[in-house]
Amino acid sequence: MKKHILTGLSVLGLSAVTYSQTPKENNWGTLTGLAGADVQFYTRDSIIGAPVVPEKMRMNAFLFLNYRKGGFYAGARMEFYQPKPLLGIDERFQGQGIPYYFAGYQYKGLDITAGGFYEQFGNGLTLRSYEARQLGFDNFLQGFRVKYNVKGIYIKGVFGRMRDFWTWSRGTVRGIDAEINFNETVPKLKNSKFRLRVGGSFVSVNRPDGEKVIGQEVLALPLNVGNAAGRLNLGYGNFSLSGEFAYKFNDPSTPNHYIYKPGASALLTATYAATNWGISVGAKRIDNFDYRTDREAVGNRLLVNWVPMLNKQHTYALAASIYPYAVQYVGEQGLQADLNFTIPRGSKLGGKYGMDININASIVYGLDTTNRPSRATVFGSDTVLTPDRYGYSAGAGLGKEYYQDFNIEITKKFNKKWKLTVMYMQLWANLNVLTVSTLGKDPFVHAHIGVADLTWRINNSHSLRIEAEGMYTKQDQGSWLMGLVEWTFAPHWSVSLMNQYNIGHPVPEKRLNYPLGSVVYNMGSHRFQLSYGRQRAGVLCIGGVCRAVPAANGLTLGYIGSF
Amino acid sequence: MNLKTGKGLLPALLLLLTAALSSCDKVPAPYSTVASNIDTTLYPPPSFSIDPNAPRKVLIEDYTGHTCGNCPDAAVVLKGILASNPNVVALAVHAGSTFAPPQPPKYPDDWRTEVGTAFDNRFGVSSAGQPNGLINRRSVSGSPIVFHTSWANLVNQYLSEDPIADVELAVKTYFDPSTRRLVTYVHSGFVETISDEVNLGVYLVEDSIVGAQKWYNQGLVDDYMHDYVHMDMLRRNISPIWGVSLGANNAAGKIQRREWQIVVPAEFHAEHLKVLAFVYKVSNNEVIQATDVHIIE
């Protein structure tokens, strides 16, 4: 349901709906498909700052077909963004065609793919190619991939160029990954409480660049940039510990301001999960880990790796899309603790169905990059001081504070008809760093957010959900209120009305309402949605990768379905 | 451990890993070279002698930004002054936090420069509102910042005060299109004795850059012009930002030469590039002479 709210919020994004494949095996093999289309009609609305869309109407659409017969498989995805992509999606996607296509076969433990493929090594510190349609993010590789596994040993090799909108990256990605699952490899450990997996990966990007000129300097560039990582997953009973360390060789680039120091990243997570409670504690330190197939690429373009977020990914509108945290690949360090527990059934608080409580806290700091010597060069008739190209030497100290989030969420089902979720969140965000947001001028925001989400199951086919949210802050755009009423009459219809109200904007004329109405019709694995209203400017993040969402007003038609 | 089926796997893996690790280049320190040694046989320094009647030239700096809807009006004024007076040198500085930062998708470009921001910070032009400018960086009733409606009068005033230059500036450039190396020689010839310490600043300026610009009252949709032609845009410094010192107590007849070699970034169009040089008094920032030349004749 929350997913639906998020979708309703980001009317510009394509809806993410999981789909189930029901293979109909016959002599001709199996064909499955997934299709989606979003059409938006834009209305002028200068008071909310909606950009004018001269095309009036834009569409994003795709059709993905996947064919399989025995060990053979093939697929392709047609994409269409015309006359331009929906607002907020990178305009360089404008166009239509079949960028993604592949064929391959599996034979026992061997799997060979030619064409486009998505892949991830470990946590993604060395390689992660994936698609996030709502973000307008797609960095699949086109080339060859080989996967092989035998007795708990998993090996992958990739060689390819990366999608760069409608062309390919100039750089080429080469990578290998190997992992041993000792519980599968060692017969004695097959049913052991002790679990052990060890893996490692190496990726090298070839970037055919000549020299780079900055000011008076001519930089010598590494043609091949390597990135290596090792990882360990250890478990015993309810306890598990996982960690990954990665080291990136010299990689001067626009995001890191052309420094040559190597990158290093460490991730560590410990989890304990018992029957009624579980805790997860994580730490990370990311130093100079922006890794791309083109050293001049910025934003979300041509990223080879992915740095996991160590913050809760919120789903409630005010918590998710005004001040979310965007992971800083060039450097950050942070901690997160996440505690879940259930007050058992039958207890005083737990009642008949128990009560779920989630407490989550995270904090992120930058690195201390102040220690950066300069270099004196006698230049013509004077001496020029240039920054030392090695870069800063980051000590163990903390840099600037980037983000803080403390939140508690309680879910209680009272009886068969009533269910309530309440959430409180306190956040602190440094907007100087989270530059995706262009919301206002005050760089430090401290906000309190409260959410109440009540579901009333009237009978087997009708249910009503009411959501109320408030955000209190004195900074930036000030406080917000949000309300939502959603009426679902199963199995087909769902109608919702939502309003967001910027009650505390420092400029009284900008204390605006953002009403949005939606109708959803479900038909098996097909879903149609029609929304009309205002979309407020904000930020959309998936896994710590973010994009700005511009303000918009208008009618949106959406379809997603599979067969 | 039973690895029978995986026999040969481990050596193969090691081989792969070795191959992979070798596909990684490490650049030794100091990582970069500074293009400073000029090949004087290829690029001979020009001869220079002082012309006692060299005309004074006035520098107009126009502090502007692509989302500043009134700024093209100042550019129009500047264009008029340039057309009617050969002894004016123009520099458009895209700076400030209000109108110059990129605002995608309509204004995606970032025309700001480190040098332009340094200028703007020192003189506080953009924070006084844009458009605004500096004429010879000379203070008029306490402030060097001048609105464009006053530019023409001040230029005429400064030129009529003393039409002969105190310092003659001569710029000679060589540009090699294949390596994109640009060699600049600047001669400063002192026509008058100047006791103040003076600095020489040298900058790269580009004309005819086509990009978006907001322009009010032109009947444009949303005041948006996608193919506005930006002129005289400050692109980077050739000398350090605040120039190099020519020292104090330069006697009449003294000649000083300075030279630079830079590599011109590929995105700059050589046929539209100019080298702009000016000499200013360190004590009060006042520009006493300026000149510019195209790098391709």
Please return the burial class of A200, using the count of CB atoms within 10 Å of its CB with bins 0-12, 13-18 and 19+: buried
Task: Note the pLDDT of residue A399.
Answer: 87
For residues A501-508, give the mean pLDDT. 92
| pLDDT tens for each residue of A326-376 | 999 999 999 999 999 999 988 888 888 889 999 999 999 999 887 777 776
pLDDT above 60 for A492: yes
Q: Residue A35 — pLDDT band, cuts 50, 70, 90?
A: very high
- Predicted local distance difference test score (pLDDT) of residue A383: 58
In the prediction, which pLDDT does A424 show?
98
The number of CA neighbours under 13 Å toward the Cβ of A159 is: 6
What's the average model confidence in pLDDT over A158-168? Answer: 96
Nearest to A376 by CA among A387, A366, A385, A367: A385
Question: Which of B27, B259, B261 is facing A250, going by the closest CB pair?
Answer: B27
Mutation test of the interface with chain A: which of B32, B225, B268, choosing the one with the most A Cβ atoms within 10 A? B32
Q: Which domains does chain A have, with CATH numbers?
A: 309-563 (2.40.160)
Task: Provide the 8-state DSSP code for A303.
Answer: B
B113/B117 Cα distance (integer angstroms): 6
Print burial letters for A110-128: b (CB count within 10 Å at least 16), e (below 16): ebbbbbbbbbbbbbbbbbb
SS3 state of residue A318: helix
Question: Is the pLDDT reported for residue A209 higher than 80?
Answer: no
Contacts of A250 in chain B (CB under 8 A): 25-27, 31
Instruction: Residue window 34-73, chain A: list those with CB within 8 Å of chain B.
Output: 51-52, 54
Looking at CA atoms only, how far is residue A270 from chain B in angstroms? 28
**Hey, is the C-beta of B80 within 8 angstroms of any chain A C-beta?**
no
pLDDT at position B35: 60
Strands B58-64 and A127-129: unpaired
Alpha-carbon gap, residue B201 to B137, rounded angstroms: 13
User: For residue A1, what pLDDT band results from cuts at 50, 70 and 90?
Assistant: very low
**Distance (Å, whole) CA B248 – CA B165:** 17
CA distance A243 to B282: 58
For A394-414, what is the mean pLDDT? 89
Distance, CA of A134 to CA of A447 (rounded, Å): 26
CA distance A395 to A366: 11
What is the pLDDT at residue A384?
59
> Which CATH architecture group holds B58-294?
Sandwich (2.60)
Distance CA B297, CA B290 (A): 19
- Report residue A396's pLDDT band, with 50, 70 and 90 as the boundaries: low
Predicted ipTM of the assembly: 0.70
- Chain segment B160-184, per-residue pLDDT in tens: 999 999 999 999 999 988 878 899 9
What is the residue-wise DSSP string for B142-176?
TBSEE-GGGHHHHHHHHHHH--B-SEEEEEEEEEE
What is the average pLDDT across A121-150?
Answer: 95
Contact residues, A window 230-269, toward B, CB-based 8 Å cutoff: 249-250, 252, 260
User: Any chain A CB within 8 A of the CB of B139?
Assistant: no
Of A201, A149, A207, A199, which is closest to residue B17 (Cα–Cα)?
A201
β-pairing verdict for B58-64 and B88-94: parallel
Q: How far is CA A273 from the centre of its chain?
A: 25
Among positive and negative, which fits the CA dihedral B61, B65, B68, B69?
positive
On whether any CB of chain A is under 8 Å from the CB of B178, the answer is no
Using the structure block, give the residue that is written with the tokens 């942070």: A334
| Tens-digit pLDDT string for chain B (297 aa) | 444 445 566 677 677 766 666 678 888 877 876 666 677 888 899 999 999 999 999 999 999 999 999 999 999 999 999 999 999 999 999 999 999 999 888 999 999 998 999 999 999 999 888 999 999 999 998 899 999 999 999 999 999 999 999 999 999 999 988 878 899 999 999 999 999 999 999 999 999 999 999 999 888 888 999 999 999 999 999 988 999 889 999 999 999 998 888 888 888 999 999 999 999 999 999 999 999 999 997
User: Residue written as tokens 């996608």?
Assistant: B226
Place of tokens 């009010």: B216
Percent of chain A residues past pLDDT 90, beyond the cut = 73
Q: Measure CB to CB from residue B259 to each of A91, A228, A380 and give the nearest one.
A: A380
Tally of residues, chain B: 297
Give the gap in angstroms from C-alpha B11 to the nearest C-alpha of chain A. 13
Could you tell me the end-to-end alpha-carbon distance of chain A, in angstroms, rounded to an integer? 23
Which pLDDT value is given to residue A385? 64
Record: contact B221-A213, CB cut-off 8 A: no
Q: List b or e across A377-414, with b for residues whose CB sees 16 or more CB atoms inside 10 angstroms.
A: bebbbeebebbbbbbbebeeeebeebbbbbbebbbbbe
C-alpha B86/C-alpha B170 separation (Å) is: 16
Please tell me the distance from the alpha carbon of residue A305 to that of residue A129, in angstroms, as a whole number: 7
- Residue B105: the pLDDT is 86
B260 or A449, which is more confident: A449
CB atoms within 10 A of CB B70: 16
Place of tokens 């993410």: A16
Q: Strand, helix or coil at A189? A: helix
Does the reported pTM lie above 0.95?
no
Cis peptide leading into residue B104 (ω within 30°): no
Alpha carbon distance B239, B260 (integer Å): 7
Instruction: Pick the residue of A93, A149, A381 with the most B CBs within 10 A to test the interface with B by mutation.
Output: A381
* Assigned token pair, B115: 């040098």
> Any idea what the Cα angle at residue A68 is, between residues A101 and A138, rounded to 5°?
30
Q: Is the Cα dihedral A79, A82, A86, A89 positive or negative?
A: positive
Is B32 in Cβ contact with A218 (below 8 Å)? yes
Peptide bond into A208 cis (omega under 30): no
Nearest to A530 by CA among A548, A539, A517, A549: A517
Please state, in angstroms and rounded to a whole number, the distance separating the CA atoms of residues A494 and A488.
4
